[in-house]
Structure 1
Amino acid sequence: MNKPHAVVIGVGDGLSAALARNLASDYELTLAARSGDKMMALAEETDARTVLLDATDEDAVAALFDNLPAAPRVVIYNPSARVRGPIAELSADDVRNAVEVTAIGAFLAGKHAARHMLEAEPANGTRGTILFTGASAGVKGFPQSAPFAMGKFAQRGLAESMARELHPQGIHVAWINIDGGILNPGRTEPEDKPGSMLRPDAIARTYRHLIEQDRSAWTNEVAVRPWVERF
């Protein structure tokens, strides 16, 4: 029997790599990223297809989904862009570009994933899962980080709207608030704050739980944070 298909958009060597490794044994994978440098080694490890992708280009995103070997059962959107600086000094073009990646790219991925999932035959009553990688900036804006907050607030609203529309049609949609720093390769925790960063593999297990949730109790939003954090 053929494996179901999963798509991971925005691939690096941290959370997205952990997600790909988590899914590889049970799904045929397609990895998509703007650059192929990190993606190619991960694709070889997970036996995945690869696509070079500008996530803000609708024609490219549509082609990504149109050219899949089968309708996707899982789609994960990871990309985001940050521009830091005082609000009075930010460039409108830089802000626009950041929001395009974080919010418009998420919309395009959600639109074309849903288009194909809605055409697919349900399996166990469901057609698939669409997950968006969020951040604490989607629930609280931080100083000198307005563009990131704008993008993540928009992404969160997109996910909530999609969930209300698509859950009754058998497509599970959820937004994951990554509320803390991720211990990606090359990063270390501060010596005075052990346990203060999230492990990519642990986050990936939360995504997997969302993918496998029974539809009688679907989650549309979840936050993950280090156990030592006060919030």
Structure 2
Amino acid sequence: MSRPTAVIAGVGAELGLGAALCRRFAAEGYHVLVAGRSPERIERVAEAIRLTGGSAEVALVELTREDLVVRLFDRAMAPGEGRDPADLVVFNAGNNQRIDFREISADQFEQFWRVACFAGFLVGREAARRMVPLGRGTVLFTGGSASLRGKPGYAHFSAAKAGLRMLGQSMAREYGSLGLHVAHVVIDGGIDGDRLRRARPGVVEERGEDGLLGLDAIAETYWQIHRQPRSAWTQEVDLRPYREGF
């Protein structure tokens, strides 16, 4: 019996959202392509899934490289032993850093845009090219607070994330009626994961109970969006801890 296939583009640490999505989809019987640029990290995520009886393989890819993204989807859409072509794709790549607007170099601005927006375009385009002719599939983009509003020191990041949001909206309007469900998930708050814990070691104690977004809770929302009946599709949803200010 074949498994459906999911592509998670932008997987890093085991205690990160990409890894949590991989585990959640694998738990539902999906074969997961764990796609990222750190071979050690993505292999740990895939191995953990396999050790619990799930199905996963690594896909080493730099998501800003068009040729490598095309190759990733060639692999994802080719029927393999015990798996069907992909019908679920998540773009989860991104980078973030506070930089005074006066100090941002042109190269820095472009690099943030390439990772958070241009790479999303490549993943979204290849997913649409492969899945629209089949009349089915889900493409999910990970957004953030910066998708909706700019903050001091984050002009470069907000520009990229807002661009990704508009890309998702345009895709949804163009391909929704053709059977491709495109949605954007706004993560409006801190995620209780490896990145935040390393950058701010005291953040869990500082925010208190339920002050951060839980990885498994976020992943559950992605899964529920994928499972929505086509008579009531979500295009955008925002997630935050109940104690987070809007």
What residue in structure 1 maps to residue 154 of structure 2?
145
Asked if residue 229 in structure 1 is aligned to residue 237 in structure 2, the reply is no
* Local SS of the residue matching 1:182: coil
Note the C-alpha offset of 1:185: 3.9
Amino acid at match of 1:74: L
Separation of aligned partners in 1, 2:6 and 2:192:
24
Asked if residue 34 in structure 1 is aligned to residue 37 in structure 2, the reply is yes
Amino acid at match of 1:214: P
Distance 1:130 1:31, change over 3 A: same
Note the C-alpha offset of 1:192: 5.5
Name the stretch that deviates more: 74-83 or 186-195.
186-195
What residue in structure 1 maps to residue 114 of structure 2?
100
Identity %: 42
Name the stretch that deviates more: 207-216 or 74-83.
74-83
Separation of aligned partners in 2, 1:28 and 1:221:
26
What residue in structure 1 maps to residue 9 of structure 2?
9
Separation of aligned partners in 2, 1:41 and 1:89:
37
Asked if residue 174 in structure 1 is aligned to residue 191 in structure 2, the reply is no
Amino acid at match of 1:54: E
RMSD over aligned Cα atoms = 1.4
What residue in structure 2 maps to residue 118 of structure 1?
132
Note the C-alpha offset of 1:194: 2.7
Amino acid at match of 2:47: E
- Checking the alignment, whether the CA contact within 8 Å between 1:83 and 1:98 is kept in structure 2 is no
Q: Which runs of 5+ in 2 are unaligned?
A: 50-54, 80-84, 198-202
Written as runs of structure 1 = structure 2, the 5 A alignment for 1:141-220 is: 141-185=150-194, 187=197, 188-191=203-206, 193-220=208-235
- Checking the alignment, whether the CA contact within 8 Å between 1:4 and 1:27 is kept in structure 2 is yes
Using the size of structure 2 for normalisation, the TM-score is 0.88
Runs of 4+ that moved beyond 4 A: none
Separation of aligned partners in 2, 1:59 and 1:185:
30
Distance 1:34 1:192, change over 3 A: closer
Deviations 1:31-85 (A, max 9, x none): 1101112110111122312111110111110011012234311000111122422
Deviations 1:182-228 (A, max 9, x none): 00147251345332100000000000010000111100000000011
Q: Which runs of 5+ in 1 are unaligned?
A: none
Distance 1:95 1:73, change over 3 A: same
Match of 2:60 among 52, 62, 81: 52
Separation of aligned partners in 2, 1:83 and 1:18:
23
Asked if residue 130 in structure 1 is aligned to residue 151 in structure 2, the reply is no
